[in-house]
Structure 1
Amino acid sequence: MNRTLHLTLAGVVALTGTLAIGTAGADGGPGFDDPDNWPQYHRSFNAWRYSPLKDVDKSNVGGLKVAWIHQPGDITHGLQATPIVIDGVLYYVSANNNVWAVDAATGKTIWHYQPKLDPISKKVFYAAASRGITVGRGKVFLGTLDGRMIGIDQKTGKELWSTQLTDMANEYGALFSAPPQLAGDILFGGTTGGDQPIRGKVFAVKADTGERAWTFDIPQDDPASFAGDSWKIGGGSAWMPGTYDPRTETIYIGTSNAAPDYFNRDRKGDNKWTASLLAIDPKTGKLKWGLQEVPHDSWDYDAAYEALMVKKDGKEVLVHLNKGGFVFVADKDSGKLENVWQFAENVNWVKGIDPKTGKLIDPVYPEQGKVKTFCPNLLGARSWNHGAYNPDTGLWYSHAMEVCNEVEAGPVDPDSMKALSALSLGIESIKLVP
């Protein structure tokens, strides 16, 4: 689930778990070797979000002053993007997919690109919010609020290609709120829609032309995973950026909750591949392996976040947390589970997760006609705001939210799902509680 809610009951945690992790990771990617650059969403393919610059530290950060201000105009939903910086140019996206190239030294606009969005984008739940762009291959790449991927000339800001990927009118406004990512000459990304009666997807196009390459359907057409035809409306989006390992040529991307939330009666099964970490071949779109972290997710505990690439005892692993309050550690090449540990303090939806098998231990499910308290709440123990890893200390820093909710499950009223902005929540009532 991709929502924005302002909460004060949050904190920052340094996560170490039981891992003794090393500094080696996947190739950083283009521009990574220059410490002055921040060339992609996580700065590097390994998703560390670590800058080696030493000019600003705790001894002088208090003396910083504003050098310049760039005003992008409309800031509906705020500025949620991570700026990209390459060779002295800062690129960012503001509300309604406005893309800017700015002189990083002066703040002066170099170029501005404003797409002509389909008016339907104003009618959907996730309108306006845009969380980033990707730069590479001489282009700036954008996922749009009307379901397109767009390639823009990096020097001039001229649109080079535009490819419509989602059927907005029939998919409850499934759109791209996060930046698509590069995997060689392939551009890939997932859409919103985990909270809506659609079938979530990961899309890929050829980065130089925009030609469609492949589509990966997240809910599986498998009666063992989804009863009946429930997979057709099973949710399971991939609304945050994935990562890419050039050594093994593998995309890693997390997926969201199944739909509807909370009321799980009509989607019996484990609901693969919702609430999962997936490894996908970027050339074919075929699944290499999948690790489902929350089978039959009935609490809105997405696993959509970054997959941190580090080494444990000389072996490359992925460290991946989800909204349910747990961190999963998996072998990067095989997906074999190495460990699971709890990072949130307030967790009551399950007694624990077996660190060897990933099995949920005594999960407590929502019920119709009965109010239950679940911790974390539907926003999760962590939201979309990313963490950061320091290879010098071996510590991974991430925020945490210690908030619960009282929920009574209930069937989704078909009449309530007629609007494009509708959410398939499966609740009779919900209330946030500390």
Structure 2
Amino acid sequence: MQRQRKVNLLRSLQRSWQVAACVAMVGAIGTPVALADSSEENIRHCPDSNWCYYDRAQDRAWRYSPLGQINTDNVRDLRPAWIFQPGDVRQGLHGTPLVIDGHMYLATNPSTVWRLNAATGEREWIYIPEMDAAIISRSFFSHTRGLAIGDGRVYMGRADGHMVALDERTGEVIWDVQLVDSSKETAGISGAGVFVSSDLFVIGQNGGEYPVEGKIFGIDPKDGSLKWTFYTTGRGDEAALATWGGDTWKWGGGGSWQPGTVDYANNQIIMGTGNPNPDYDYCGSDCRDVNSDAIRPGDNLYTSSTVALDLDTGKLNWYFQEAPSDPYDYDAAPGEYVMLDDNGRSVVLHPGKNGFNHVHDSKTGQPLNVYADMKNQNWTSGFNLETGQWENMLWPIAGEKTLVCPAIDGGHSWNHGTYSPETGLFYRTVQEWCMWLTVAPKGGADYITAGSEVRTTEPFAQAYMAAEWIGTDPPGQSSHAFITARDPISGDLAWERRYDIIPHSALLSTGGGLLFNATQDGWVEAIDAADGSLLWKFNNGSGHNGGIVSYDVGGTQYIGVVSGQGSYVGYAVNALNLDKLINLKDSAAIVAFSLK
């Protein structure tokens, strides 16, 4: 029944997206206000009052705001200041808004952009693209998780494969280029990009669930012209192609659907790549052998990997694969590359879907520590730093029901954690759940959860996942989560806070000593970052699947919370908590809080 509910859900969503085609519209709604300063200098060195990038600062990805007007002493006086509802509810809200000099820029599903007055929530302009309804209706990823801004332009990757730059003052289209042929590939763009400089913007496409070549693009932000392309399945890279049997790399998936972090010191951007296609293969323990009988034999580089790409050329500097020949859908594409200093050495932390935190030397990629953040993972006994190998990997056998932990949606999901320089701790939501996985045998099966039974590329690519997965509880427990507070490099645990229902918002830490979280059953929480104690909470009336930001307008600090039930991860949480999350419907809103 659970599998059927998921299939029905997907069909219902697809039907809803077919109801009407989007109409291109740019409209000034509120009173015109002054131009925000989104110069390269201000984006690269984000003023304290602003939120300039998906994780606030593109060279750190800390999700930390230095603002401290709201603090541990007065947070109990926090009250709603304004609420904005976009009206069109399509899988809720997933993204993180940006705030530049009193203006909030928000992306809503599937590819709409709003500018709001960040002090009042008043609508200033809206961009609704005209897109092919057939493409939008058949894509699993007709949603957005954010946008970017820089040099007076708002950059939006669309579900139909187009990339547009909008005038930040008026919302008018400055340029529009097609990066992905979504009419053929079905895959499009759903993640926020990275404004690296006045000369470079980097963004990836989604695609792990489709038999396509995943790509990361380096483009000129001034006109959208393509500067370089990195192929996540190895095109032009003999070492990578040697990890694929035959020409299977041509349909190998990958892609990259969340933004990376810029390592300016080493002239590179660090990003995560998607899973290989199909998501699951029938080859079992033989999968890593390129000569095995399989759909995609071999390790399948550079899928499910961290990649560091040269900013000038897009060439690979280093990589680390988080699930070789990924048999679980533990891709690294959720992103979150947190730059830190370790006694003068630059390191990068990445929480993986695989339930581990990975710490690398940012220049060379050398793994320095790989430690479990999740308690119930069973896919490996760990990573051996000396041999450079994942040990004792679990290989599901085709046709046999296998318990795999974490579930397909990961021990860490795509909503990011936060690092506080005040406490020196990294805070992360850790999801404790599993799945019953039954991989389809050679030739396919009629029990797969979603997508086609065999690889289908004509007349357009269809999702190809090749297994049934059913979310379930860890052995002897109910699904649950923790917010863990750790030394990010050693992994030493300072404290943890348990949740019986997995929360799915991003986290925010602030200069006021606070940690903000939002839950699936509606609560926004302010937590003492030092010890994990709850200081304040407010119920927004809906689940949360997006970001939390802090900003200042006119001397008033605000906490902006993306509220709105609706994402595949959110639906999976709901399915395991039907007795607690009763009649929870899709919704969409931004709720801004300030002190009374």
CA 1:324–1:164: 2 relative to 1, 3 Å: same
> What is the SS of the residue equivalent to 2:135?
helix
Distance 2:153 2:402 in 1: 50
Contact 1:387 1:399 in 2 (8 A): yes
TM-score normalized by the length of structure 1:
0.89
Within the alignment, does 1:35 sit opposite 2:75 as a pair? Answer: no
Whether 2:282 is the aligned partner of 1:268: answer no
Letter in 1 for 2:61: A
Residue equivalent to 1:22: none
Q: Distance in 2 between matches of 1:31 and 1:417?
A: 41
Task: Tell me, yes or no, if the aligned pair for 2:139 and 2:187 is still in contact at 8 Å.
Answer: no
- Supply the distance in 1 between the matched residues of 2:320 and 2:108 (Cα, whole angstroms): 34
Identify if the C-alpha distance between structure 1 residues 84 and 255 changes in structure 2 by more than 3 Å, giving closer, same or farther. Answer: same
* Per-residue deviation, residues 83-116 of structure 1 (Å, max 9, x unmatched): 1111111111112222111111222222211211
Match of 2:151 among 124, 129, 137: 137
The residue type paired with residue 301 of structure 2 is K
C-alpha contact (below 8 Å) 1:84/1:91 kept by paired residues: yes
**1:424 matched to 2:464:** yes
2:320 to 267, 288, 291: 291
Matched, 1:251 2:269: yes
In 2 relative to 1, CA 296–401 (structure 1 residues): closer, same or farther, beyond 3 Å?
same
Q: What's the counterpart of residue 226 of structure 1?
A: 244
Q: Is the 8 A contact 1:123 1:420 kept in 2?
A: no
SS at 2:429 equivalent:
strand
Q: 1:330 to 1:276 in 2, by over 3 A?
A: same
SS in 1 for 2:380: coil
Instruction: Say yes or no: does 1:181 pair with 2:189.
Output: no
Helix, strand or coil: the match of 1:208?
A: coil
Contact 1:28/1:46 (<8 A) preserved: no
Kindly, what percent of the aligned residue pairs are identical? 37
Q: Kindly indicate whether the alpha-carbon contact (under 8 Å) linking 2:241 and 2:301 is maintained by their aligned counterparts in 1.
A: no
Q: 1:386 aligns with which of 416, 421, 433?
A: 416
Cα displacement (A) at 1:71: 2.5
Aligned pair 1:76/2:106, yes or no? no
**2:586 — aligned with what?**
none
State yes or no: 1:316 paired with 2:346. Answer: yes
Greater CA drift, 96-105 or 218-227 = 218-227
CA distance in 2, matches of 1:125, 1:60: 46
Matching residue's letter, 1:391: P
Identify the match of residue 67 of structure 2 among 27, 35, 53.
Answer: 53
Among 122, 128, 131, the alignment partner of 2:136 is 122
Question: How far apart in 1 are the matches of 2:348 and 2:455?
Answer: 42
Residue 191 of structure 1 is matched in structure 2 by 205
Q: Secondary structure at the match of 2:144?
A: coil
| 1:79, distance to aligned residue in structure 2 (A) | 1.5
Relative to structure 1, the CA distance from residue 191 to residue 136 in structure 2 (aligned partners, 3 Å threshold; closer, same or farther) is same
Change (3 A) 1:81 1:40: same
CA distance in 2, matches of 1:125, 1:234: 18
Q: Which residue of 1 aligns with 2:219?
A: 205
Q: Could you tell me which residue of structure 2 aligns to residue 236 of structure 1?
A: 254
RMSD: 2.1
Shift of residue 388, structure 1, vs aligned partner = 0.6
Amino acid at match of 2:471: L
Inter-partner Cα distance in structure 2 for 1:354 and 1:417: 39
**Paired letter, 1:217:** Y
Q: What is the TM-score with the length of structure 2 in the denominator?
A: 0.65
Q: Does 1:156 align with 2:170?
A: yes
* Secondary structure of the corresponding residue to residue 414 of structure 1: coil
| Greater helix content | 2
In structure 1, the residue matched to 2:472 is 433
When residues 57 and 350 of structure 1 are mapped into structure 2, their CA distance, relative to the original with a 3 A threshold, is same
**In the TM superposition, what whole-angstrom CA distance separates every residue of 1:187-228 from its partner, at most 9, and x where no partner exists?**
111111111211111112110011111111101255521001
**Unpaired segments ≥5 residues, structure 2:** 1-5, 7-39, 284-293, 445-452, 474-596
Q: Identify if the C-alpha distance between structure 1 residues 29 and 225 changes in structure 2 by more than 3 Å, giving closer, same or farther.
A: farther
Counterpart position of 1:10: none
Q: How much has 1:416 moved relative to structure 2?
A: 7.1
Equivalent in the alignment of 1:301: 330
Question: Are residues 363 and 239 of structure 1, via their aligned partners in 2, closer, same or farther at CA, if it must alter by over 3 Å?
Answer: same
Range 330-339 or range 418-427, more displaced: 418-427
Alpha-carbon offset, residue 54 of structure 1: 0.9
Supply the AA of the counterpart residue of 2:196: A
Provide the residue aligned with 1:12 in structure 2.
Answer: none
Q: Please report how far the alpha carbon of residue 355 of structure 1 lies from its aligned counterpart in structure 2 after TM superposition.
A: 2.8
Matches for 1:59-70 after TM superposition, within 5 Å: 59-70=73-84
Q: Write the letter of the residue equivalent to 1:303.
A: A
Does the C-alpha gap of structure 1 residues 127 and 218 become closer, same or farther in structure 2, counting only changes over 3 Å? closer
Larger Rg over CA atoms: 2
Deviates more, 1:219-228 or 1:154-163: 219-228
- Which 10-residue stretch deviates more, 130-139 or 406-415? 406-415
Is the 1:31–1:86 contact (alpha carbons within 8 Å) kept by the matching residues of 2?
Answer: no
Deviation at 1:318, TM superposition (A): 0.7
Match of 2:43, SS state, is: coil
Which residue identity lines up with residue 234 of structure 2 in the other structure?
Answer: Q
1:401 pairs with 2:431: yes
Shift of 1:292: 1.6
Q: CA deviation at 1:118?
A: 2.4
Distance 2:416 2:86 in 1: 23
Letter paired with 2:464:
S
Amino acid aligned to 1:174: A
